[in-house]
Amino acid sequence: MSYDISLKVKVQDVDKYINVADGGNCTWNVRELIEKASGWEIKNEENNGTAEDMIPMLKQGIANLSERPNDYKQYEASNGWGTVESTLRFFRGMLDTCEEHPYAYVFVH
């Protein structure tokens, strides 16, 4: 199971969002690793807020996983599907996308 992340903008005067960017994909197995490293508690099947609001959390996650990877190894998936390294790549990709579209909303599916 995995999370598919997309960035969307709301259509003015309509209760509809349109996709503007693919935010990436990560395995469900790293949800605790993501939360511990960045503070982002993923809300599946929901709007997770603006990309602009995500940027500080993603930067925090990148710093934590880059500077102290061993502190987070305990949250890696025991089956190998979700590591500190793969989560770091996910954070970096998400950060790039969020910086390109700061006013989009982050949806997780």
Per-residue model confidence as pLDDT tens digits over 57-79? 999 999 999 999 999 999 999 88
The percentage of the chain sitting over the pLDDT mark of 70, rounded to a whole number, equals: 100
Mean pLDDT of 99-108: 98
Structure tokens at 90: 């996910």
| Side chain identity at residue 43, one-letter code | K
The percentage of the chain sitting over the pLDDT mark of 90, rounded to a whole number, equals: 94
Confidence check: pLDDT of 1 > 90: no
Q: Using CA of residue 7, residue 46, residue 29, residue 81, what is the dihedral sign?
A: negative
Would you state the pLDDT for residue 30? 95
pTM: 0.93
Cα(23)–Cα(102) distance, rounded to whole angstroms? 12
Cα(33)–Cα(8) distance, rounded to whole angstroms? 25
Q: What is the DSSP letter of 44?
A: T
Per-residue model confidence as pLDDT tens digits over 13-34? 999 999 999 999 999 999 999 9
